[in-house]
Amino acid sequence: MRGGVRVVDLIDWNFSLLFITAITVIYWAGLTPYGFLLNTQSESPIALALGVLLYPLGHAEFSHWFVNAAALCAFAPRAEVRFGTRLVLRYALATSVICGLLVLVLRDGMLMGASGVAYFFFGLMLAYYFCLGSRIWAFFVPFIVSFFVMAEIWAIGLEGNYATEVHLVSLAAGLVLGYLWQDEALDRQFSR
Mean pLDDT of 6-31: 79
Per-residue pLDDT reduced to its tens digit, 34-92: 789 898 888 889 999 999 999 999 998 898 899 889 888 888 888 888 788 888 888 88
Q: Is the pLDDT of residue 191 over 50?
A: no
Highest mean pLDDT among 9-13, 113-117, 131-135: 113-117
- Contact between 111 and 162 under an 8 Å Cβ cutoff? The reply is yes
Higher pLDDT, 142 or 18: 18
**pLDDT score recorded for residue 29:** 92
pLDDT digits (tens, 9 = 90+) for 128-166: 777 765 555 555 666 666 666 666 666 665 555 677 778
Higher local confidence (pLDDT), 191 or 89: 89
**173 pLDDT band (50/70/90 cuts)?**
confident
Residue of higher predicted confidence among 168 and 144: 168
**Residue 125: predicted pLDDT:** 81
Task: Examine the pLDDT at 183 and tell me if it is beyond 60.
Answer: yes
Which pLDDT band, with edges at 50, 70 and 90, does 23 fall under?
very high
